[in-house]
Structure 1
Amino acid sequence: MSKELKVMEPKQYDDEIDLYELIEILVRHKWSIVITTVICTLLSLGAALYVRSKTPNYLIKSILIQQDTYGLKGVNKLDVDSILFKDINVDRILEIEPIKQKYLENTSENMRNMISERKFLQDIITVSKNEKNPNEISIKTEIIADEKSGRDIINTYMDILREQDNLSDVIGKEKKLKSDSLEKTKIEIENIQNEILNIFKNDSDLRVLKPEEKIYYIASKYPELNLRKSEKEKYYNTYVNELLTLDSLNDKLETVKETTDIYFVKGQSKAKLILGVGIVMGLFLGIMITFLKEFIDGYKRRYQK
């Protein structure tokens, strides 16, 4: 039994990996590892530079939309998402010459139509809303030509959005309507007052009454006239208060507020990741080639014996 153990023991040692031998193999073939790593590094560097050159950069502008109709009819609902749904707005943005040229370069002639134009702009323009406050909006555009044309896109988008805001026009029309009604009511009240003056002149019963008694006398003897006077005075006061309310809205007409200037954001590329993976893969591949060469050399030596 002890003899069998002694025979098996050397075989076990023969199957074990010698760490010093592995290191000696790596040192002996170090140039193979270095050359393979350098080649892979250069290839990954080229790929990283290409990816970096294709990584888009952006321009962003943040705005705040605080819209209230104030109970007025005919006020447009501002919708930043629907701007590119209108053909006239698509045409207006594509009037920016560098953007138009990029569209023509990227679209074959037989595919040029309103649908492709809209898709082209939707790919480079992104509108996002703050999850916590939907009124906080950012407009982002990819810089596909130059920074100036990117700024022109955002400014044009902002102009279109502001043109949708017709609150000041509605308020102006409403003020005109209320002012006309106020003037008309004022004339009607003056006419009623003239009728009352004629009554004072022509009704002899009023001459013997005290001033406070005259009011009650007219109210009881001419109820229709008194009712008309009360209604017109009520309308007059209502129109005055409504005009004061409309005037107070002048400081609230800025529906679209710019919270930031247009600022530049560099796109996130995977260039560093590609370079790092290339170096690691080159080192790993070099080690694998080294062991493969060592295996082939060992096989040849055993075969020659």
Structure 2
Amino acid sequence: MSKELKVMEPKQYDDEIDLYELIEILVRHKWSIVITIVLCTILSLGAALYVRSKAPNYLIKSILIQQDTYGLKEVNRINVDTILLQDKNVEKILEIEPIKAKYLGKMPKEMQNMASERKFLQDIITVSKNEKNPEEISIKTEIIVDENSSRDVINRYIDILREQDNLSDVIEKEKKLKSDSLEKTKVEIENIQNEILEIFKKDSDLRALKPEEKMNYIASKYPELNLRKNEQEKYYNTYVNELVRLDSLNDKMDIIKETTDIYFLKGQSKAKLILAVGIVMGVFLGVMVAFLKEFIDGYKKRYKK
């Protein structure tokens, strides 16, 4: 039994990997490893610099859209998500000459249509909302020509948003209606007052009454007239209060507020990742080259024998 164990022991050790032998192989071919790592690093550095140079840059502006209908009808709801869905808005933005020229240069003539124009603008303009406060909007555009033309894109986009804001027009329209109604009510109240004066002249029973009793007398003897009087006075007060409220909305008509200036944002690239992967690949390939050369050298030695 002991003899079998002694016979098996050498075979068992022959199958094990000798760590020191592996290290010797790597040291023996260290220059091959170094050269491979350097070559891979140079290649990955070139690729990283190229990717970095192609990384897009952006301009961003933040705005605040605080919109309320204030109980008024026909007030447009400003929706930033539908701006580029409207053909007229796409055409307005593409009136910026450098942006239009970039589109024409990028898109083949046979593919130039409204759909491709819309897709072109959707690719360079990003509108995002703050998750915590949906009223906070960020407008970001890629700099595809120069900063000036990209600034024009953002400003044109905000101008289009402002064109959707018709609150001031609706307020003026409502003020006109209320003012006209108020004037009609004033005329009606004046007519009622004239009728009451005529009653004072003709009704002899009023002369013996005290001033505070006279109106009660008219209210009881002429109920329809009194009802008309109260109704018109109620309308009068309503129209006056409504006009005061509409005037107070003048300070709130600036629905779109610009919360930041247009600022520059450097686009992120995968340059660092590419460089890191290149170095790791260089180490891996260097080790593989070292073992491959060791295998070839061993094969040549056995072949010569």
TM-score (norm 2): 0.93
Aligned-partner Cα distance in 2 for 1:207–1:157: 73
1:151-204 CA-partner distances (Å, limit 9, x unpaired): 211111111111101111111111111112112211221122122222223333
- Matches of 2:74 and 2:26, distance apart in 1: 81
- Establish whether residue 200 from structure 1 lines up as the match of residue 200 from structure 2: yes
Point out where structure 2 has 5 or more consecutive residues left out of the alignment: none
Q: Residue 242 of structure 1: CA displacement? A: 0.9
Deviation at 1:83, TM superposition (A): 0.5
Would you say 1:39 and 2:39 are equivalent positions? yes
| Counterpart for residue 138 of structure 2 | 138
Pick which of 17-26 and 224-233 moved more.
17-26
What's the offset of the Cα at 1:13? 4.2
- Following superposition of structure 1 onto structure 2, how do residues 238-249 of structure 1 map, counting pairs within 5 Å? 238-249=238-249
Q: Percent identity among equivalent residues?
A: 83
Q: 1:160 aligns to what?
A: 160
Amino acid at match of 1:62: S
Q: Output the CA distance in 2 between the equivalents of 1:5 and 1:158.
A: 88
Q: Secondary structure at the match of 1:69?
A: coil
CA displacement at 1:262 relative to structure 2:
2.0
Question: Alignment length, in residue pairs?
Answer: 305
SS of residue paired to 2:88 = helix
Aligned-pair Cα RMSD in Å: 1.8
The corresponding residue for 1:67 is 67
Task: Spell out, residue by residue over 1:32-88, the C-alpha distance to the aligned partner (whole angstroms, 9 max, x if none).
Answer: 112211111111111111211222122222222221111111100111000111111
Q: Trace 1:13-24 onto structure 2 (pairs within 5 A).
A: 13-24=13-24
- Please say which of residues 116-125 and 13-22 is displaced more in the overlay: 13-22
Deviates more, 1:156-165 or 1:21-30: 21-30
In structure 2, how many angstroms separate the alpha carbons of the residues matched to 1:134 and 1:20? 64
1:32-181 matches, cutoff 5 A: 32-181=32-181
Unmatched 5+ residue regions in structure 1? none
Q: 1:25 to 1:213 in 2, by over 3 A?
A: closer
More deviation, 247-256/201-210 = 201-210
Secondary structure, in 3 states, of the residue corresponding to 1:139? strand
Are 1:235 and 2:196 an aligned pair? no
Indicate how the Cα distance of structure 1 residues 5 and 208 shifts in structure 2: closer, same or farther if over 3 A, else same. closer
Q: Secondary structure at the match of 1:131?
A: coil
